[in-house]
Amino acid sequence: MLDDKIVSLKNYFANDITRIISEEISKFMIGLKSETMESTKTHDPFKENTSTIISEINNKICTLESENKKLKDEILELKNVYKLPNIENNIYESKLNDTRNNKKIVIYGLNEYHSETEEYLHYRISTMIQEICGINITGYVEEITRIGRKGHRRPVVVEFLSKRLPKHLLQNHQLFQNTGISISEYLDKETFLKRKKLSQILTEARRNGHHAVIRNNKLLIDGKEVNKSQKENLYTSYNNETLLYNNSEYYSTNVNNRTIIHSSQSDNKQLPNYNSRPYNHVDHSFREQF
C-alpha cells in the first residue's frame, strides 16, 4: 500500500517537473524567436554607417565631376581666347617680315675682297648702281651684308629704307645683263623652300607643254591657280626626279610684281653668262672695277 503511494507521488512529481520544463523551454523558444524577429527588423549600425559613407563618397564624386567639367570648359575657353591673339600675332609678324623682305634685293657676282668693310662695300654697290641704272642710292640704304660661306663672290643682301627703290631695280633687272652682275628679290628660308617646290612643279608643267608662272608665291598653270592639294599631288609625282636649283638651271625675272622662273631645259634657252661677258656700256673691265 505504501509502495503504491510512493510510486504515485513519483509519477506526479515527474509529470509536474516535465510540464514545468516544457513550459520553460516553450517560453525560452518564444522569447528567442521574438528577439530574433526584433533583431531582424532593427538596422545594423555598421551597415548603416557603410551606406552613409558610400552615399557621401558618391556625392563628392558627382561634385568633383561637375567641377572638372567646369574647369575643362574654362580651359577650352581660355585656349580659344589665347589662340586668337597668337594667330593675329603670327599674321602681323608674317606681314612685317614680308614688308621688310620687300625692301631687300640680292646682288650676285660681286667680287669679295679680303677684310672687306661695309663702308667700302656700300661705296662699290652705290657706284655700280649709279653706273648701270643711273640711280644714286646714297642715303637710301639701311644695311648691306654678304650671306653664305666665305668665298670670292658671296651674294650681297642690300636692305633699303623703302620698298620703292628695290622694286624699281627689280623691274629694270635687264640693265644688269652682260655685266657679270645680276640681281633678284630676297627670299627668306620659308619662302625659298616654298618657291623651290613650286619651281619644280612649274618646270615639269612646262615640260608637259603647259604655260606656267609663279605670281606672288602662287603657281598658275594655264591661267588657273593650283590649290594646296593639287600642289602636293603634283609635287609627289615629281619628287623622284632631279631638280638642280641653281643659276645654271633656273633664273627668275620680276615684272610688275610677277615672278617668272625660267628653265633652260623647258625653254630651250641658253642662260647669259654674266661672269664672262664684258659690260658694253662702260668698258671691258667694268666687272673688275667692282
Most confident of 12-16, 43-47, 114-118: 114-118
- Output the average pLDDT for the chain: 71
Overall average pLDDT of the 125-141 stretch: 91
Cell 661677258 locates to 277
Instruction: Looking at the structure, tell me whether residues 94 and 107 fall in a common domain.
Output: no
Interval 230-243: pLDDT, tens: 656 665 655 544 43
Can you tell me whether residue 281 is helix, strand or coil?
coil
Overall average pLDDT of the 51-61 stretch: 79
Identify the weakest region by mean pLDDT among 55-59, 95-99, 216-220: 95-99
Identify the weakest region by mean pLDDT among 75-79, 96-100, 254-258: 254-258
Interval 6-21: pLDDT, tens: 556 555 656 666 667 6
Instruction: Looking at the structure, tell me whether residues 133 and 86 fall in a common domain.
Output: no
Instruction: Looking at the structure, tell me whether residues 212 and 194 fall in a common domain.
Output: yes
When comparing pLDDT for 10 and 33, which is higher? 33
Instruction: Looking at the structure, tell me whether residues 68 and 207 fall in a common domain.
Output: no
Instruction: Looking at the structure, tell me whether residues 76 and 213 fall in a common domain.
Output: no
Instruction: Looking at the structure, tell me whether residues 86 and 110 fall in a common domain.
Output: no
pLDDT value, residue 287: 44
When comparing pLDDT for 202 and 3, which is higher? 202
Q: Write down which residue in 85, 101, 117 finishes a domain.
A: 101
Q: Find how far residue 202's CA is from the centre of its chain.
A: 26
Cell of 6: 510512493
Domain count, the chain: 3
Residue 30 is assigned to a structural domain of this protein: no
Overall average pLDDT of the 256-273 stretch: 42
Cell of 181: 652682275
Q: Can you tell me the distance from the alpha carbon of 57 to that of 63, in angstroms, rounded to the nearest whole number?
A: 10
Q: Can you tell me the distance from the alpha carbon of 109 to that of 290, in angstroms, rounded to the nearest whole number?
A: 10
pLDDT value, residue 16: 65
Answer yes or no: are the C-beta atoms of 180 and 274 closer than 8 Å: yes
Range(s) of the domain holding residue 229: 189-263
Residue 269 is assigned to a structural domain of this protein: no
| CA–CA distances in Å: residue 172 to residues 176, 201, 246, 256 | 8, 27, 22, 10
Residue 153 binned pLDDT confidence (cut-offs 50, 70, 90): confident
Can you tell me whether residue 252 is helix, strand or coil?
strand
Instruction: Looking at the structure, tell me whether residues 97 and 149 fall in a common domain.
Output: no
By the 10 Å C-beta count (0-12 exposed, 13-18 middle, 19+ buried), 75 is classed as exposed
pLDDT value, residue 106: 92
Instruction: Looking at the structure, tell me whether residues 106 and 95 fall in a common domain.
Output: no
Instruction: Looking at the structure, tell me whether residues 110 and 176 fall in a common domain.
Output: yes
Q: Can you tell me the distance from the alpha carbon of 255 to that of 185, in angstroms, rounded to the nearest whole number?
A: 11
Instruction: Looking at the structure, tell me whether residues 58 and 200 fall in a common domain.
Output: no
When comparing pLDDT for 148 and 40, which is higher? 148
Residue 91, by phi and psi: left (phi above 0), alpha (psi -120 to 50) or beta?
alpha
Residue 23 is assigned to a structural domain of this protein: no
pLDDT above 90 coverage of the chain, percent: 13
Answer yes or no: are the C-beta atoms of 76 and 115 closer than 8 Å: no
**Is it the case that residue 112 has pLDDT exceeding 50?**
yes
**Is it the case that residue 228 has pLDDT exceeding 50?**
yes
